[in-house]
Amino acid sequence: MELEGLYLRNRVTGNAGRGEDHRHDIVFLIETIFDHHVMEGFRVKLGFDAKLVVDRDGNSGGLCLFWKGCVDVSLLFFSRFHIDYVVILDNNKWWRRTGFNGYPVAAQRHHGWTLLRRLAGMSSLSWLVGGDFNEIASLFEKLGVVTMQEPLLNPFRSVLVEYGLKDLSFTGTNFTWTNRCESSDLVQEWLDRCVSNLDWRQIFPCYMVKRLD
């Protein structure tokens, strides 16, 4: 289960980031596997006030969004691969957040990029997208055996460029996935990321993304 948390340290001025003390206001979970009953137990234990659960598909998948009552969250759309919502700040500024989980099968990943394009066309709000895209945007984001040619990466990268979605700077490990093999068989990739449009970065100039081990 992967966790992505957002801590709104100052909802009036708009300074946002991943809180170092991990007391998040909003948490997006990927590959939850568990059902609604189990996730409700997590919600109570972690001290959140509301949740949205997207059921797993067989023995894999599953998404969940937790948030606290101090945050004004308005849900928009969701599917097996994303949860889309709007956050309303105390100064009445609205911004949009999409938690994303890319298609695990390479031959189906183009459906994920189609989904991103569709979501981009639905709103002109400042936009933050984060999650596990299950794809690298460049060969520089992979360490180990390379089994694809650079042109095959263009569909994902072109979506980011087309809608002005820029990778947010981060602290922590350079790679977010590994095959856990040793020596020459080791492969590491940068699959998890947060990207945003310019409007979001202007609202939150002091953002901080921290990758946890």
Tell me what pLDDT residue 81 has. 95
Q: Above pLDDT 90, what percent of the chain?
A: 54
pLDDT, position 148: 60
Q: In terms of Cα–Cα distance, which of 169, 168, 159, 162 is closest to 135?
A: 159
Give per-residue pLDDT as tens, 74-119. 999 999 999 999 999 888 889 999 999 999 998 999 999 999 999 9
How many whole angstroms separate alpha carbon 5 and alpha carbon 8? 10
State pLDDT tens for residues 151-204: 555 789 999 999 999 999 888 888 888 888 887 888 888 889 999 999 999 999
DSSP state of 144: S
Contact indicator for 31, 101 with CB cutoff of 8 Å: yes
8 closest CA partner among 207, 210, 212, 213: 207
What is the pTM assigned to this prediction? 0.85
Contact 135, 102 (CB under 8 A): yes
CATH fold of 2-210 reads Deoxyribonuclease I; Chain A (3.60.10)
Helix (H) or strand (E) holding 177: strand 177-178
131 closest CA partner among 83, 86, 95, 175: 83
- Domains of the chain by residue range: 2-210
| More confident site: 43 or 177 | 43
DSSP letter assigned to residue 35: -
Q: Are 142 and 190 in contact (CB under 8 A)?
A: yes
Residue with tokens 């948030």: 67
